[in-house]
Amino acid sequence: MPRYYSPDGNIEVWETKPDGYYTEEEWAELHPAPPAPEPTTDEKIAALDAQYNADKADLLTAYQTAQIYGDTETMKSLKADLQALDDQYDEDYEKIVGGE
């Protein structure tokens, strides 16, 4: 059976839509969900740290593999990638704490 919202916001089951009631779609359009709260500075830094640590771990694993195989070109490239990751982290961190 269809469900309808009363003018007070109570959801009720009716065979046909009563006058003044709203379909679920109409109610959702009239009452949108509030926007998600902005993450705190600490939450933003925690997310940045988590992503940095995951990316760094991937680079270090790749570097170790290249080192085992004696692939000095890949090692050199991965060192540059790690430096770029560090630089990006510093830039992103400053954007977060500078935005307070």
The DSSP code sequence of 62-100 is HHHHHHHTT-HHHHHHHHHHHHHHHHHHHHHHHHHHHT-
pLDDT, tens digit, 9 for 90 and up, residues 54-65: 999 999 999 999
Cα–Cα distances in angstroms (integers) from residue 94 to residues 87, 88, 90, in the given order: 11, 10, 6
71 vs 48: CA distance, rounded Å: 30
Query: Quick one: which of 42, 62, 50 has its CA closest to 89?
Result: 50
pLDDT, tens digit, 9 for 90 and up, residues 24-52: 999 999 999 999 999 999 999 999 999 99
Domain-by-domain residue ranges, the chain? 1-33, 41-98
pTM of the predicted protein model:
0.66
